[in-house]
Structure 1
Amino acid sequence: MKIILRYEISKSILFLIAFLFITGYSYPQIIFKTPLSPRNANYDISVKLNTKTKILDGNEILSWTNISKDNISELQFHLYLNAFKNSNSTFMKEASTGVSKRNENISTDDWGWIDVLSMKKLDGTDLTNNIKFIQPDDNNKDDQTVISVKLNKPLKPGKTIKLKIDFKAKLP
C-alpha cells in the first residue's frame, strides 16, 4: 500500500510541475507595460552564408533615433568580428596573456573579420568615405573593432537617420 501511495504522490507532483511549467506559471509574473529602455535602434538584416568558406554577404537597413539632447555629428559602430582579424587586436592581445593562449596556433584561414563595403543614407547620401577606424579604449592602431562615421550634417534631437549598410564578413 505504501509503495502505491508513494507512486501516486510522485505522479501527482510530477503532473503538477509539468502543468505549472507548460502553463507559464514558472515564468516571472511581472510584465512591463513599457520598455525599460528606449527603443531607438531598429535593424533589418539580410545575410547569405557560404557554409564552406564561412563567408557572410549581407546588408542591413539601420534606423537610429537621436534620443539625446545633443546634435550628433558622428555615429560609432562596433565591428565585433574584427576582434578575430589578427593577433594584434586588443581582444587577441588580452586573450594571449596569462593562462589563455587562444592565438598560438591560428592559421590565417581561421581569422574572422567584417568589412563595411558601403554605408549610405536612404536619401542616397554616401557616407562610405567618412568611415574611420578608431581606438577609443587603448589607442591600439591594429585594433579595428570600432568605426566612426562622420555625418554630413548633425542629427538633431528626436530625429531619425536611416542607413543602408552593405558588408562582407568571415566567421572565425
Structure 2
Amino acid sequence: MLAAFADPVFDSQRNFRELLQAMARPAMPRALPSLPPSPAPATPEAMAVLLTLCDQATPVWLQAGGDALAQHLRFHAGTPLVDTPAAADFALIVDAQAMPPLETFALGDPRYPDRSTTLIVQVDGLHAGAGMRFAGPGIRDSVRCAIDGLPERFWRERAALAARLPLGVDCFFVAARQVLALPRTTRLLED
C-alpha cells in the first residue's frame, strides 16, 4: 500500500485552496503544492485532487484502474466506488481519448444542479496564454489556454450541454504538477 499525503491535513488544505482558486479563475493553470504517490494508471496530480475532495460521502467512478487504485482510494479516503458514471459525484478519466460521452455522467437536475459529476481528467499538458479562448464568470474579458490530449468530440459535447445550463459537468484537468478548472459556466469562444 502506497502512502498518501505526507501531512494529510496540511497538504489537503493547501491543495484545496488551489482547487478553489482554479474554479474561481477558470482556464488558468494552477500549481498543485502537494502530490501524493499514486498507483497506476492515476497520476499524482489526479490523486491529489481525489484525496483532497473525496471522502466516504462522495462516490467515485474510475474509467480504468485495478485493485491497487481502488484499494488506495478506499483506504486513504474511504471513497465508495460506483460502476456507472451517472452514479458518481467524481469521475477519474485516465485516458481522455477513450472517455465516455459527457451525457453519460450525472448532469444534476433543475432543482439540484449541484448533483452532477465533476470530472478529473488526466491530459498531456496545460499551456496558459496559447490555444483556445475562454470567457465566463471569473474571467476578465477572455483568456487563452491549450489543453493537450482531449478528443475533438469533447468540445462538441460540452457545447451541446451549454444549452442545458444550469445542468452540466464541471472539469478539473491535471498534468505536469498543475490543475486547470473548467466549470460548466465557462464558454469556449470562436476566434
* TM-score, with structure 1 as normaliser: 0.23
* TM-score, with structure 2 as normaliser: 0.22
The structure whose RCO (Cα within 8 Å, separation 6+) is larger is: 1
More helix as a share of residues:
2
Q: Which has the larger radius of gyration?
A: 1
